[in-house]
Amino acid sequence: MSGTSVKKPDFEHSVPWFWPVAAAIEMEEEGLQLFQDNVRFLAEAETIEAPPSPQWATPNRVVLDLDTMRLRDFSRLDAKSGAVPVLVDAPYAGHSSTIADYATGQSLVETLMAAGLRHVLATDWKTATEAMRDFGIDKYLTDIDTAVERLGGRVNLVGLCQGGWMSAMYACLHPGKVASLVLAGAPIDTDAGNGPIRKIAHELPLSFYEEMVASGGGRMLGQYMLAGWKNMHPGEQYVGKFIDLYEHIEDKSYIKRTEEFERWYENPLDLPGRYYLQAIQLLFKENRFAKGEFVAHGHTLKLKDITCPVFLLAGEADDITTKEQVFAAEHLVGTPPDRITKNLVPGGHIGLFMGTRTLGEAWPGIARWIAANGGA
């Protein structure tokens, strides 16, 4: 970055939708102007109603309703009573947990069950209300433990993205309760690789993030994050996808897929400010979890305490969680090398959880691995 002086935007008056991922655009004068133009576009569109909320594709029932989440059970009636349950810990990063059960033919839950796993559940993380603004990471780990206890005290954990580091933390705290651990697109060592999120976390001061949380009344508002994700790829979000839609306007299947994605993408969740700032400072800025310095419930977490079988899944073109951040876990956990499996697949981040190719080629094998290694 050159020595050009750039004035920080005024959150309260001029940038109501701001989120730090936008800093992925180089903050020179031209980059800042582009970002501000995009924000003005979003502000003008603020009155447009969001599409209907996303729905779970697979029939399920809520078996536990906690402060932070609902525990959804997709299990079939013929689920073996002695099988260790599979708990999918969905991402909690600003979008609905339905990404784990996105649509028929694009559902991780459906794929796991079709591959032979009968007792499958998922965390359905709630959007943060004002009353939840002071919830920290400890609260989320507590509720995960409540869910695990509800399931008999031992599970196979499948952590997706941010749900991955939460699952790994839980496995450090309660190693005896985790039969096997799958980390998919999970940032374990946030200093590894050279992705844009790493760059943003290190270049922007904590006060930058604190201002956004303050402007959201103690919460990190989903609309801020949505604007930021869009500004990572502004050409695609503001021009490209509309051109694609026009070119496929007669293709009913394409229109259906577009509508399904917009239902998920355009309905963001709010996060508690405390949880969000802890993640930014302690995980992405200071990398305390990978360094063995993160404290949860009064205990310093050591990844070496994880000794169960571990499966690591990363996307070759993932620019949200680079493969280095995922695969670094191989040398940090205490699991013997012969009980660690890695798989690098084509594609980006979201495709790890709902892409037809990865669901068809990678996840059935992961399901068989869980059955063989976790008693599922």
What's the mean pLDDT in 36-50? 49
pLDDT at 135 over 70: yes
Which pLDDT does position 159 carry in this prediction? Answer: 98
Nearest CA to 333 out of 212, 164, 214 is that of 164
pLDDT at 322 over 50: yes
pLDDT at 183 over 50: yes
Which pLDDT does position 243 carry in this prediction? Answer: 53
Residue for token pair 């029939």: 59
Percent of the chain with pLDDT over 90: 64
Which pLDDT does position 19 carry in this prediction? Answer: 38
pLDDT at 5 over 50: no
Cα(223)–Cα(3) distance, integer angstroms:
31
Which pLDDT does position 4 carry in this prediction? Answer: 38
In sign, the C-alpha dihedral spanning 191, 193, 195, 199 is: positive
Which pLDDT does position 2 carry in this prediction? Answer: 38
In sequence order, the 6+-apart residues with CB closer than 8 A to the CB of 49 are none
Which pLDDT does position 262 carry in this prediction? Answer: 75
Which pLDDT does position 246 carry in this prediction? Answer: 47
The string of DSSP codes covering 44-63 is HGGGSPPPPPP--SS--EEE
Nearest CA to 6 out of 32, 26, 39, 38 is that of 32
Please give the mean pLDDT across all residues of the chain. 84
Mean pLDDT check: name the lowest of 37-46, 76-85, 248-257: 37-46
pLDDT at 167 over 90: yes
Alpha helices in the chain (DSSP H): 29-44, 108-114, 137-150, 162-173, 196-203, 206-215, 222-232, 234-235, 241-247, 252-265, 273-278, 288-291, 323-327, 351-354, 356-361, 363-374
In sign, the C-alpha dihedral spanning 6, 8, 10, 15 is: positive
pLDDT at 3 over 60: no
Which pLDDT does position 32 carry in this prediction? Answer: 47
Which pLDDT does position 31 carry in this prediction? Answer: 53
Phi, psi of 329 (to 5 degrees): -60, -25
| pLDDT tens-digit series, residues 253-267 | 756 666 777 776 778
pLDDT at 341 over 80: yes
pLDDT at 268 over 80: yes
| pLDDT tens-digit series, residues 276-309 | 999 999 999 999 999 999 999 999 999 999 999 9
Ordered by where they begin, the domains of the chain are 61-192+272-374 (3.40.50.1820)
Residue for token pair 């992925």: 24
What's the mean pLDDT in 200-216? 88
Which pLDDT does position 11 carry in this prediction? Answer: 35
Which pLDDT does position 202 carry in this prediction? Answer: 85
pLDDT at 47 over 50: no
Helix axes 29-44, 222-232, angle to 10 degrees: 130
pTM value is 0.82
| pLDDT tens-digit series, residues 66-125 | 999 999 999 976 655 679 999 999 999 888 999 999 999 999 999 999 999 999 999 999
First to last CA, the chain: 51
Which pLDDT does position 78 carry in this prediction? Answer: 61
